[in-house]
Amino acid sequence: MTFREFKSEAENVVEEALKRSSYPTVEFNLSEPAEEHYGDLASNIAFQIAKDLRRPPMKIAEDIARLIDLSRSNLIQDVSADPPGYINFRLNYKALAERLLPSIQSSDGVKVADLGKGAKVTVEHTSVNPNKALHIGHLRNVAIGDAVYRLLKHSNYNVKVLNYIDDSGAQVADILVGFLHLNYPQEPPSDVKFDHYCGDTIYVKVNEMYEQNPNLLEKQRQILKELEDPASKISEFAKSITSKILIEQLKTCWRFGVRYDCLNFESHIVHSRLWDRVFKELKEKGIVKYAEDGRLKGCWIVEVEGEEEGEEKVLVRADGTTTYVAKDIPYAAWKIGLVEDPFNYIEYVKQPDGSPLWATDLNQGFKKTDFYGAEKTIVVIDVRQSRLQRIIKAVLSQLSKGVEDRYIHLGYAVVSLSPQTAKEMGFSEEERLLHMSGRKGIYLNADDVLDALKKKALEETVKRNPNESLEWCERVSESIAVAALKFDLLKQDLDKIVIFDLNKSLRLEGDTGPYILYSYVRACRILEKADEEDIAPTTTNINITTPTEKKLLKDLSKFDLIVEEAARNLSPKTLARYTIDLSTSFNNFYESAPVLSCSDAAIRGTRLMLVRGFKSVLGKAIDLLGLPKVERM
RNA sequence: GGGCCCGUGGCCUAGCAUGGAUCAAGGCGUCGGCCUUCGGAGCCGAAGAACAGGGGUUCAAAUCCCCUCGGGCCCGCCA
């Protein structure tokens, strides 16, 4: 918001000084010094010049610093050359406060850079097979996808969120086998959600039975065959089951604070014959080849860039059916507008935030242009799918130039169970982390984890709020649980495996979501009391004095730079880390700079503005991460 | 066998894109402090002294390059 201006002022004065000097023009950068006491920004320009001229950097830094003219700068307090050759700039905190604080007294004033200029982008995430409940691993996908959506939307992209529903695969047939051939009742026990029932009981049991009873596998194949006809009785039955599961899954996602724009059903993509059109073009352009002989005789295959011969991927089997990856190609082509839209759209359900959730349909509904033909499309899927995603992208690139930049696979490492949790749950006795498996029943259901977190938060909330109703405490605890889990899944690098430990992840202290919420609540309390005591913020006589005030102010001023970085790199982690840092700065300020009891009116008023500004900025950061907010806890 | 990713104090992580400053930063855990002060889900301090190992590039490497080791994932006419 203004750190950006400080930075560009510093850039300008260095460039101008360089022009006035006898030194050659070079590229340089400005970064924050390792230690606060060096200043607020440092230029490495002297090192860059020293490299070319083979002269001591310190001398060069001194020469340039001497030529720097600050007369037209507002936010630079002073500048110095320091060993071994840095040019350090210090912020004029009073000027920064006067510029920044009035603008962020309400959340409307907290602006984010316009990166998107309204460009149409789709983000696909969640995409859980509709035969089971979401587990903790799925939640990483959901949290990342939702945060990316929020980051892009606020950076002025026109973002639509897609959720791909594979309603015609073998996993769905497995559930049908359970109902039709193992006589599972169609209603779950009264205290069990339908998605849990299908996933925890039927899916796992059916897969166990396949091993003992090969006949059952034959039944599954039969069901799959019958599912190909959308008008068949079994298709209708499948649809009723998958819809029931899907709605339960959506409830979990809504509980997690997530929304979507459109459900894309695989069965619709298959029956739309999109594949035929794309396949025809792939053949005409020679992108797919027919294997005349060899191991893959009779198949249509593509070569995979960067892989050895003999590693070709089959798109169409010898029997004429399409493979998994082939099914994704027309869908991806649809997303970026390489094919016409064959779908109608119906309003599937109203979401808790009031927005409609649309779904593809082949018969009824309207035509809509919102969901296909995006400038960029981002698909959030774990890294195990990287090779397939690369193949899809490569095939599309051959159909149309420029697809490389428009089709983006956002991969992330999986969530695994810690040895302790694996033992506690009775999944394993080994001292190593355990990968989850829906088929084997090795996972923790998302709802169960949230419930456990909520229970823990509730104990604390009730203890701290003896005068509040149980309903109130429950509501707050639910928010704390969601914030804790979501933040835990967002805060680390996408390339790193999340080792989920039931006990450790139930933490409410330290680098956690509750820490952030707690900081927010503290700010709310101060503002509430200030209101009661009729203490108004200063707007004319701003006075920044202490180190913790300065640090908080500086952190606030960086918000838009951080959001920009996070949005550009599709990196929720970047914002998550900032949010912790900002909260820490506030808590330090809170300990050392009393607001309401401060006797100096100007200082008190300034601090109050800082608290308000903090509430606005942190509130925005919380929104962008997709965490729930609470005003008391 | 080929490809991708990870390896930072006892444990978990940030920093790596764009190499630089005397102490490489947080959290957890351990030990010790801080409520007559806006809420202690907080703050302060201490101990531990660590960028997997080796080589290279550079005035300067946790960061770039190469090799080795350890761990994970992917490599099906399954999805």
pLDDT of residue A41: 93
Quickly count: other Cβ atoms within 10 Å of residue A323's Cβ: 16
**Final residue belonging to a domain, choices A91, A118, A133:** A91
Length A579 CA → B36 C1' (Å): 34
Q: Which two tokens stand for residue A127?
A: 């995409």
pLDDT of A310 higher than 90: no
Q: Domains in chain A: how many in total?
A: 2
Closest to A103 (Cα-Cα) out of A568, A557, A621: A557
The CA R_g of chain A, rounded to the nearest whole Å, is 29
pLDDT value of residue A183:
93
What's the mean pLDDT in A434-438?
A: 92
Averaged pLDDT, A435-450: 94
Q: Burial level of A33, CB count in 10 A (0-12/13-18/19+)?
A: middle
Chain B nucleotides with an atom closer than 7 Å to a protein C-beta:
2-7, 12-15, 17-18, 20-23, 26-29, 37-39, 41-44, 59-60, 71-79
* A384: number of Cβ within 10 Å: 11
Q: Please check whether residue A239 lies inside any domain of the structure.
A: no
CA proximity to A133, closest of A12, A248, A304, A254: A248
Nucleotide lying nearest to A326, CA to C1' measure: B79
Q: Where are the alpha helices (DSSP H) in A425-571?
A: 446-464, 470-490, 513-532, 547-557, 559-568
CATH, residue A35:
3.30.1360.70
Q: Which of A537, A543, A552 is nearest to A608 (CA)?
A: A537
CA distance A501 to A462: 25
- Amino acid A72 CA to nucleotide B23 C1' distance, rounded Å: 37
Q: Per this entry, what is the length of chain A?
A: 633
Which alpha helices (DSSP H) does A337-445 contain, by range?
A: 386-399, 403-406, 419-424
Among A44, A59, A91, give the residue marking a domain's end: A91
Which structure tokens are listed for A259? 């929304």
Quickly count: other Cβ atoms within 10 Å of residue A347's Cβ: 11
> Residues A428-440: what's their mean pLDDT?
88
Band of pLDDT at residue A87, cut at 50, 70 and 90: very high
Task: Give the residue with minimal CA–C1' separation from B17.
Answer: A569
* Mean model confidence pLDDT for chain A: 93
Nucleotide nearest to A514 (CA to C1'): B41
* Protein residue closest to B15, using CA and C1': A34
Instruction: Round and report the angstrom distance from CA (A173) to C1' (B76).
Output: 20
* CA atom of A246 to C1′ atom of B39, Å: 42
**Residue A24, Cβ neighbours under 10 Å: how many?**
10
Both tokens assigned to A89 = 């700039």
Residue A539 has pLDDT above 80, yes or no: no
Checking each nucleotide's C1' against the CA of A296, the nearest proves to be B77
Q: Which nucleotide is nearest to A588 (CA to C1')?
A: B43
pLDDT given for residue A304 in this prediction: 83
- pLDDT the model gives residue A308: 65
The reported pTM is 0.95
Q: What is the pLDDT of residue A169?
A: 86
Nucleotide nearest to A311 (CA to C1'): B75
Any domain includes A86: yes
Average pLDDT for A279-299: 92
Q: How confident is the model at residue A309 (pLDDT cuts 50, 70, 90)?
A: low
Phi, psi of A140 (to 5 degrees): -65, -45
- What's the rounded Cα separation, in Å, for the pair A593 and A606? 11
- Helix residue ranges, H only, A301-373: 324-335
The percentage of residues in chain A with a pLDDT greater than 70, rounded to a whole number, is 99
Residue A592: predicted pLDDT:
92
pLDDT higher than threshold 90 for residue A53:
no
- A181 to A132, A223, A439: CA distances (angstroms): 19, 11, 18
Predicted local distance difference test score (pLDDT) of residue A627: 97
- For residue A279, the SS3 value is helix
For residue A63, being part of any structural domain is answered with: yes
Nearest nt to A510, CA vs C1'? B27
Residue A111 resides in a domain: no
Q: At what angle do helices A214-227 and A204-212 cross, to 10 degrees?
A: 120
Quickly give A547 CA vs B27 C1' distance in Å: 23
Q: Which nucleotide is nearest to A631 (CA to C1')?
A: B39
Tokens 């195990």, located at residue: A384
Strand A158-165 vs strand A120-124: parallel, antiparallel, or unpaired?
parallel
Cis peptide upstream of residue A84 (ω within 30 degrees of 0): yes
User: Which pLDDT belongs to residue A451?
Assistant: 96
Please give the nucleotide, over all strands, whose C1' is closest to the CA of residue A35: B21
Closest CA to A513 of A492, A482, A476: A482
Higher-confidence position of A431 and A458: A458
Distance A516 CA to B41 C1' (A): 9
Q: Which residue is nearest to nucleotide B1 (CA to C1')?
A: A308
Q: Which domain holds residue A41?
A: 3-91
**What is the C-alpha to C-alpha distance for residues A385 and A379, in angstroms, rounded to an integer?**
11
Nucleotide nearest residue A528, measured CA to C1': B38
- What ipTM did this prediction achieve? 0.95
Query: CA-to-C1' distance for A34 and B50, Å?
Result: 19
- Structure tokens given for A515: 């820490």
Structure tokens, A13: 């004065």
CA A161/CA A126 separation, integer angstroms: 10
Helix (H, G, I), strand (E, B) or coil at A393: helix
Residue A477 pLDDT grade (very low, low, confident, very high; cuts 50, 70, 90)? very high
Instruction: Give the closest residue to B77 (Cα–C1′).
Output: A317
In terms of C-beta density within 10 A (0-12 exposed, 13-18 middle, 19 or more buried), how is residue A190 classed? exposed
Determine the nucleotide nearest to A312 by Cα–C1' distance: B75
Q: Roughly what angle, to the nearest 10 degrees, separates helices A513-532 and A601-625?
A: 140
Residue A461 lies in a domain: no
What phi and psi, each to the nearest 5 degrees, are found at residue A486?
-65, -45
Residue of least CA–C1' distance to B34: A591
To the nearest 10°, the Cα dihedral for A218, A223, A225, A231? Answer: 160
**Among the listed residues A358, A379, A344, A325, the one whose alpha carbon sits nearest the alpha carbon of residue A271:** A344
Residue type present at position A414: V
Strand ordering across the sheet containing A376-380: A344-350, A356-361, A262-265, A158-165, A120-124, A376-380, A407-410
Q: What is the pLDDT of residue A143?
A: 98
Residue A113 inside a domain? The answer is: no
- CA of A579, C1' of B24: distance in angstroms: 22
Distance CA A511, CA A500 (A): 15
How long is the CA A22 to C1' B21 vector, in angstroms? 26
Q: Span A297-311, mean pLDDT?
A: 80
A53 is a domain residue: yes
pLDDT of residue A457: 94
Q: How confident is the model at residue A432 (pLDDT cuts 50, 70, 90)?
A: confident
pLDDT band at A406 (very low <50, low <70, confident <90, very high): very high
Of the candidates A31, A62, A91, which is a domain's last residue? A91
CA–CA distance, A531 with A544 (Å, rounded to integer): 22
| Cα distance between residue A32 and residue A55, in whole Å | 24
**Predicted confidence (pLDDT) at residue A373 exceeds the cutoff of 90:** yes
Sequential DSSP letters for A610-630: HHHHHHHHHHHHHHHHT----
pLDDT the model gives residue A599: 87
User: How many Å apart are A533 CA and B36 C1'?
Assistant: 21
What integer pLDDT is reported at residue A506 of this predicted model? 83
Look at residue A246 in the predicted model and tell me its pLDDT. Answer: 98
Between CA A112 and C1' B5 the distance (Å) reads 32
Q: A90-102 pLDDT, tens per residue?
A: 999 999 999 999 9
- Stated in angstroms, how far is A24 CA from B15 C1'? 31
CA at A405, C1' at B56: how many angstroms apart?
35
- Three-class secondary structure of residue A465 per DSSP: coil
In a domain, A463, yes or no: no
